[in-house]
C-alpha cells in the first residue's frame, strides 16, 4: 500500500512538471532569456526555499548545511552541471516539441540518473537486486525508444508546413543532438540528490519529517542550476540587447507574465517535491527506491506526450506513429511495477 501511495505522489508531481511549459506560452513580449530566468527564480529559488522550510527552520538549515559542507558543495556542483542540461532541455523542446523533446532527453536522463548513483554507491548491478534494477531501466529505455521512434515517424509523415505549424522551430537532427546532451547533463540532478544524502539524514536528525527531508538537498541542487542559467541568460541579454525588456513592460503585461512564470515555476518544482515525498513511502535500500528516479522520468515522458496530444503536436502524424506512441507509453507504465514483480 505504501508503494502505491508513493507512486501516486510522484505521479502528481510529474503531472505538474509536464504541464510546466504550458503557462510559458502565455508569457507576452519577453524574449526567451528573460522569461526563462524569471520562471527560474520561482522554480529554482523561491519554491525550493519554501520547500526546505517545510523540513527545517532557518537556524536548523544553517546548522545542517554547515555540518555537511562537503556534501553541500557537491550537491551545488552537480546542480551547476544539471543547469547546463536544463538550458539545453528547453532548447530540445523548442526544436522537437514537448512530446519528442522531453522523451529523448528524459530517456537519457533516466538511464544515467538511475545507474550512475547505484554504481557510485557500490551496488552490485549483477546481484539479484541489481539485475531487477537493470531490467526495469532497460524496459524504461525501450518504452522511451518506442516513443522516440513514434516521433521520427511523425516527422516523416507530416508536411513541412504541418511541422512548422505544430512546432515553429522544428529541426529533427539538431533537436535530437541537443536532447541527448541535455539528458546526460540533466542526470546530474540525481547525482546531486545522492551526494546530499548526509544532509537529508542530518535534516531528519534536526527534526525534519522524513516526508520533507529531501527538500533541503533539492534546494542546493537547484541553487547550482540557477547560477548556471543566470550566467547564460545575462549573456544572452547582453548579446541580444534585451536587458531592459522587463523594465519597459507595461504593468498589465508584467503582472500577466509574473503570474504565469510563477505558475510554471511551481509546476516544475512539484516533480522534485513529489519525488522526495514519494520516496519516503518506499523501503530504504529497496529496488523501488533506487528506481524512483526512472519512475519520475518515465511518468514525465507519459504526461508530456499527453500534453503533446492535447496541443495537437501529433495531428497528421499517421496511424502507425500514434500506435507506437501508445505502445511506448504502455511500456513505460509497465516499467513502474517491475520492481514489485520479483
Reference 189, options 101, 83, 71, 331; nearest CA is 83
Share of the chain above pLDDT 90, in %: 49
The terminus-to-terminus CA distance of the chain in angstroms comes to 16
Angle between helices 47-55 and 58-67 (to 10 degrees): 90
Range of the domain at 218: 3-340
| 208 neighbors 56 (Cβ within 8 angstroms) | yes
Q: What is the pLDDT of residue 48?
A: 98
Decide which of 2 and 164 is more confident.
2
Q: How far apart (Å, rounded) are the C-alpha atoms in residues 250 and 28?
A: 11
Decide which of 94 and 182 is more confident.
182
Tell me: pLDDT of 145 over 70: yes
Choose the most confident range, by mean pLDDT, from 79-88, 103-112, 299-308. 79-88
pLDDT confidence tier of residue 314, bands split at 50, 70 and 90: confident
pLDDT confidence tier of residue 51, bands split at 50, 70 and 90: very high
Mean of the pLDDT values across residues 39-62? 96
pLDDT confidence tier of residue 262, bands split at 50, 70 and 90: very high
Q: What is the pLDDT of residue 96?
A: 72
Burial pattern 100-128, b for ≥16 Cβ within 10 A else e, equals bbbbbbbbbbbbbbbbbbbeeeebeeeee
Reference 202, options 49, 6, 66, 46; nearest CA is 66
Q: Which grid coordinates belong to 212?
A: 520533507
Tell me: pLDDT of 271 over 90: yes
Q: How far is CA 191 from CA 3, 251, 278, 338, in A?
A: 23, 41, 18, 23
Query: In the chain, how many domains are there?
Result: 1
| 220 neighbors 143 (Cβ within 8 angstroms) | no
Q: What is the pLDDT of residue 297?
A: 87
pLDDT confidence tier of residue 106, bands split at 50, 70 and 90: confident
Tell me: pLDDT of 213 over 80: yes
Decide which of 248 and 204 is more confident.
204
| 282 neighbors 1 (Cβ within 8 angstroms) | no
Tell me: pLDDT of 252 over 80: yes
Q: What is the average pLDDT value for the chain, to the nearest integer?
A: 88
Q: What is the pLDDT of residue 272?
A: 96
Tell me: pLDDT of 181 over 70: yes
| 293 neighbors 300 (Cβ within 8 angstroms) | no
Amino acid at each position: 500500500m505504501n508503494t502505491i501511495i508513493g507512486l501516486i505522489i510522484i505521479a502528481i508531481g510529474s503531472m505538474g512538471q509536464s504541464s510546466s511549459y504550458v503557462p510559458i506560452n502565455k508569457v507576452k513580449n519577453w524574449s526567451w532569456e528573460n522569461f526563462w530566468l524569471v520562471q527560474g527564480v520561482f522554480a529554482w529559488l523561491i519554491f525550493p526555499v519554501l520547500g526546505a522550510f517545510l523540513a527545517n527552520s532557518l537556524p536548523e538549515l544553517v546548522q545542517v548545511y554547515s555540518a555537511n559542507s562537503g556534501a553541500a558543495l557537491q550537491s551545488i556542483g552537480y546542480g551547476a552541471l544539471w543547469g547546463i542540461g536544463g538550458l539545453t532541455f528547453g532548447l530540445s523542446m523548442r526544436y522537437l516539441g514537448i512530446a519528442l523533446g522531453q522523451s529523448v532527453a528524459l530517456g537519457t536522463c533516466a538511464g544515467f540518473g538511475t545507474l550512475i548513483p547505484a554504481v557510485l554507491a557500490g551496488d552490485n548491478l549483477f546481484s539479484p537486486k541489481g539485475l531487477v534494477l537493470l531490467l526495469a531501466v532497460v524496459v524504461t529505455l525501450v518504452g522511451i525508444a518506442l516513443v522516440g521512434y513514434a516521433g521520427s515517424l511523425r516527422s516523416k509523415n507530416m508536411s513541412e508546413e504541418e511541422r512548422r505549424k505544430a512546432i515553429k522551430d522544428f529541426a529533427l537532427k539538431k533537436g535530437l543532438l541537443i536532447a541527448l546532451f541535455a539528458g546526460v547533463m540533466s542526470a546530474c540532478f540525481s547525482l546531486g540528490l545522492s551526494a546530499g544524502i548526509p544532509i537529508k539524514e542530518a535534516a531528519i536528525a534536526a527534526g525534519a519529517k522524513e516526508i520533507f527531508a529531501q527538500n533541503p538537498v533539492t534546494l542546493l541542487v537547484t541553487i547550482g542550476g540557477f547560477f548556471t542559467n543566470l550566467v547564460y541568460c545575462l549573456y544572452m541579454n547582453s548579446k541580444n540587447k534585451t536587458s531592459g525588456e522587463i523594465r519597459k513592460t507595461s504593468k498589465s503585461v508584467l503582472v500577466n507574465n509574473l503570474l504565469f512564470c510563477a505558475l510554471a515555476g511551481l509546476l516544475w518544482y512539484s516533480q522534485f517535491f513529489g519525488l522526495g515525498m514519494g520516496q519516503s513511502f518506499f523501503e530504504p535500500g529497496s529496488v523501488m527506491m533506487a528506481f524512483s528516479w526512472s519512475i519520475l522520468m518515465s511518468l514525465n515522458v507519459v504526461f508530456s506526450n499527453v500534453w503533446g496530444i492535447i496541443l495537437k503536436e501529433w495531428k497528421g502524424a499517421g496511424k502507425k506513429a500514434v500506435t507506437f506512441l501508445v505502445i511506448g507509453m504502455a511500456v513505460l507504465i509497465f516499467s513502474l511495477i517491475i520492481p514489485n514483480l520479483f
